Chains A and B, each alone.
Chain A
């Protein structure tokens, strides 16, 4: 089914709007991309379309987290380093990175679908992560210990979560650390006592996102501003981009790129 869908998409693209991809005709070059895991679906779909039109361009995509994006982009190991957070002034100064925000993603707390709790407040989440609330029954759920899941230090999702929801509050050292949005989803989907957080684009039926201070986490709400725990997704280059790297970034900002971003579950941002 998915195959049909992707094939149909590729087909419609090549028929309807071949124009944005014209920029790559006859060009050669390599684009190495690394960093934020949330960016990967967008990067992958864009790369796939570009390389289908022009196999002379080689694009490689690696994850690793926002930290990797800064580090490898800054060191010049990759041409585009993705981050799920704005760069600090230190990072800009040290590496001379130029940022391109291309999408908005919400970050939402997720729990196991079997969990009866449907609403949480930021204060509660803060206490849960600090280890002050340790059982779901204190929140109106069943009698079950809460297992905490958080992301690794390199995660942009973690930064947004820590800044906007925890207000820089502590995370109990007993919290499990998982290395990606996907691993977070797997863990929460399996563990009935779990609480974690993912980009809204990753939410599906295997996990449940309770309302946060009354706000319903969804991409629409993130777009129209009623859900405030959001972040931007950035592509960063060392210095102003040139050549196929510039073409790639430009492509993400075309209407076709916006379509890819929307299909990946994010809200496109104009350049």
Chain B
């Protein structure tokens, strides 16, 4: 009886693992399959050129790739220090009641729907950005980056905090014995020990930022041009998919959607591989 249960459990868990693995394989397979006709068809590699003008038969989506990277990186550059700041505050820099409040706030923020940020930002942030930057329409790289940094912040902060809480507990006495204040323990002992955790949080945040659709679609302006300034209206790969999937399924524009999907997958794989190799070098060092 007990023996059987063990077997059943093993099989069940193995099967769920298999399902997960197959799902990933299927996602990659399907998207590559649907993107393939674009390359084998008439336009060939023109899809990877720099101009998007379907009226003239130009279907380059590289500006969108650049826009995706720009928006995600700027969101990360803003959001990561903020997340780190919040975690340090919670784990020692701020009075305990404030820290506890902030932690509650972060938990609550994970429940904030993305579309809520987008909806509120259209009416609050866009006019401010238009007047503040003095150029452009307010629908811009900067606007999307700002809101995205807020969107990815709680996930990053909670991942950081999970690591820091354990490390801090472990090192609190060590630090105290060395004559460190709580702040010094945090900056000199805990943070270096949590390096990997901070890195993983950054990768996670980047993934969420580059993968978000609604915020860029609603706030970045969606102009298919190369990003060059913060007030530029730009179109990310995700927004491109949302906008163009609606077109006729015969056109090259439609095919570009799947290429965009594949590019996003490739970015994701690259980030994961980089993260892994970084973590590994961290281990040997």
Contact = CB atoms under 8 A, between A and B. Distances in A.
Please determine if A and B sit in direct contact within the complex, based on CB atoms under 8 angstroms apart.
Answer: yes
Interface of A: 64-65, 67-68, 70-71, 74-75, 90-91, 94, 145, 147, 149, 152-154, 162, 168, 170-171, 173-179, 183, 186-187, 190-191, 193-194
Interface in B182-233: 217-218, 221-225, 232-233
Interface string B233-275: 1010000001110111110011000000000000000000000
Interface string B127-144: 100100001111100000
Interface magnitude class on chain B: 35 or more
A68 B246 CA distance: 5
Contact of A152 (B135, B139, B243): B243
26 contacts: A65-B246, A68-B246, A71-B247, A71-B254, A90-B250, A91-B250, A94-B250, A145-B135, A152-B222, A152-B244, A153-B243, A153-B253, A154-B244, A154-B246, A168-B55, A173-B52, A173-B224, A174-B233, A175-B233, A176-B221, A177-B222, A177-B223, A177-B235, A191-B137, A191-B138, A193-B137
A147 B243 contact: no
Interface in B135-156: 135-139
B126 A170 contact: no
B54 A179 contact: no
Contact of A71 (B137, B139, B224, B248): B248
Contacts of A176: 137, 139, 221-223, 233
A68 B257 CA distance: 14
Given A153-B243, A173-B51, A176-B233, 13 more contacts: A64-B246, A147-B137, A152-B244, A153-B246, A154-B247, A162-B55, A170-B56, A174-B225, A175-B223, A175-B233, A176-B137, A177-B235, A177-B243
A177 B55 contact: no
Contacts of A168: 55
B53 interface: yes
B222 A178 contact: yes
Closest 7 CB pairs of A and B: A154-B246, A177-B222, A147-B137, A67-B247, A176-B221, A173-B225, A67-B246
A178 B223 CA distance: 9
Contacts of B224: 173, 177
A153 B123 CA distance: 25
B171 interface: no
A187 B53 contact: no
A67 B130 contact: no
A183 B221 CA distance: 11
A65 B254 CA distance: 14
A145 B267 CA distance: 36
Given A173-B223, A174-B223, A174-B232, A71 B53 contact: no
B119 to A, nearest CB: 11
B135 A170 contact: no
B140 to A, nearest CB: 9
B122 interface: yes
A177 B221 contact: yes
A96 B127 CA distance: 47
B130 to A, nearest CB: 6
B244 A170 contact: no
A159 B122 CA distance: 26
